[in-house]
Amino acid sequence: MENVCHTLAGLALARTGAGSTTPLATTALVVGANLPDIDLAWSSFHSALAYFHYHRGWTHSIAGLVVLTLLLWLALLAADRWLLAGRTQDRARPSPLLLAAAIGVASHILMDAANTYGIRPFLPWNDRWVYGDLWVIVDPWLWLILGGAVYLSRESGRRRNLVWLAGASAAAIVVLFAPLVPASCRVAWAAGLVVTIAICRGAARGRPPAPRTAIAGVGLVVLYAGLCAASHHVALARVARMAAAVPAPRRVAALPHPADPLRWEWIIADASSLRHGAVGTLPFFDPPAAPTTVLSRGLDLPAVQALMQSCAGEVIREFFRFPFAAIEEQPNGGRVVVVRDARYTRKGRGFAVYAAPLGADGRPVIDRRECP
């Protein structure tokens, strides 16, 4: 998930009462909810291959959960002892602070495990990816649920209201004008935003906020995850039945559609071809006249096989879940071998695409400086 969602999750968890168990508990929850993405410090500034290789690595694993929790806990205890000494009479209690740090880090890993990017939970012993396929990296329903819970769990004020209004407006612009979000989901999300605003206005005239508001928000996220999981299970079963006609060995997936937990993008891949289309959880939700697209995987092309044996190919085999390749002509007359991951990009130069020029001998020219 992106870090706005992680931050809202950390704040919502803090407002349930977990943030008041000890000084710095809220800090532990919010920082912990973002901390696994510290791997961006060494995965984002070298090359795309390094990003694919290092991002969501050990910091998103079970071992990373333990290491990051302990490091955050020790850092906060040190800050409490040496930086905050004399500024407050209350000292952080180690046990509740450790628990808050663990919950914050775990929330990040669990939310990331639920999307199509996946995590590698068993590093450093096993680098197998695990994919939840429940929601996309940017999920507006999580924004709405968590944002509403965080806002309602704290007393309002003029400056605070303006900040939240700006945030809600920015989210509304993203959702209502995003071309990938279906029109029906835009209407439903806008209606949810109106209801949330009405609840907020009513709460502002009522009793002071209570932890149960944030608890309800966290509970709604769990229910939403359960809805997505049940919907995904049914849709994946439908895709598996479709795949029965495809030569074995085959690999299938039902990938989430932005903001729509009742419709899914399906992929069926065999050794030579890759098919994809859209399917509903039930036939009633099937998109009208949803076409099926068939792509040649091209993995048996000599240039592609040579690429896959290189250092770049090692990363591609590791990260790309549904790779397919093609030899493409360049405007300058040259040729390149392009490998794409069908989860994200099926044409052009989007995310999860690697291209290497072909030399005079027809073999890919790999810049080894890009390899991790």
Report domain extents, the chain.
Answer: 3-121+133-222, 297-370
pLDDT at position 320, please? 96
> Which among 20, 35, 153, 34 is positioned nearest to 96, based on CA atoms?
20
Higher model confidence: residue 336 or residue 202? Answer: 336
Cα(313)–Cα(367) distance, integer angstroms? 12
Contacts of 229 (CB under 8 A, 6+ apart): 134
**Confidence at 202, pLDDT banded by 50, 70, 90:** low
pLDDT at 220 > cutoff 70: yes
pTM of the model: 0.92
pLDDT at position 44, please? 82
User: Average pLDDT of 206-211?
Assistant: 65
pLDDT at position 92, please? 84
The Cβ of residue 81 has, within 10 Å, a number of other Cβ atoms equal to 11
pLDDT at 206 > cutoff 70: no
pLDDT at position 196, please? 81
- At 113-122, the pLDDT tens digits run 999 999 999 9
CA dihedral 183, 151, 3, 23 (to 10 degrees): -160
- At 124-160, the pLDDT tens digits run 999 999 999 999 999 999 999 999 899 888 776 778 7
CA 61 → CA 39, 40, 121, 124, 279, distances in Å?
12, 15, 4, 8, 32
- At 262-316, the pLDDT tens digits run 999 999 999 899 999 999 998 888 888 778 899 999 999 999 999 999 999 999 9
**Confidence at 340, pLDDT banded by 50, 70, 90:** very high
pLDDT at position 183, please? 87
pLDDT at position 246, please? 81
Q: What per-residue string of b and e applies to 333-357 under the rule 16 or more CB within 10 Å gives b?
A: eeebbbbbbbbbebeeeeebbbbbe
Range with lowest mean pLDDT among 6-15, 24-33, 175-184: 175-184
pLDDT at position 181, please? 87
Proportion of the chain above pLDDT 90, given as a percent: 65
pLDDT at 213 > cutoff 70: yes
User: What values do phi and psi take at 86, rounded to 5?
Assistant: 90, -15
Range with lowest mean pLDDT among 77-91, 277-291, 341-355: 77-91
Higher model confidence: residue 268 or residue 333? Answer: 268
pLDDT at 207 > cutoff 60: no
